[in-house]
Structure 1
């Protein structure tokens, strides 16, 4: 997969991740694409918003994602530690 294609496929997940803190949650998003690139689904971790630990997704190893997470942990350590435990 080319980097440009990978970034395009990552964009909906990043948008979901950015929406999480605006709702009082954690900045972790996800997107599922079909083989041809069709967006099949998207979502975000809603553990804090819904009080349900089963509503989680996994963060990809991407510099933009990592930066978003570092900033969130720095700015909201209480919510991060509540979500993952210290």
Structure 2
């Protein structure tokens, strides 16, 4: 799913956690996600916006499961820095 096809309704059941979603609305959150490097943006989008399992993401991107988990960790870390200006 291209990023241009994602909107607020896509977020309904998939989110990054209460600490982020309580701080910003979904539209703003998606704007922050779009600022990430592509490897993090794509992985976070598949996981938290579209709702794919880690194994599905690994299959789609043709990477190891361990790589998916690391990208999710690093992507969330970068996202927190963007949101909280740290």
Common topology (TM > 0.5):
no
Higher-helix-fraction structure: 2
TM-score by length of 2: 0.28
TM, length-normalised to structure 1: 0.28
Q: Which has the higher contact order (CA 8 A, sep 6+)?
A: 2
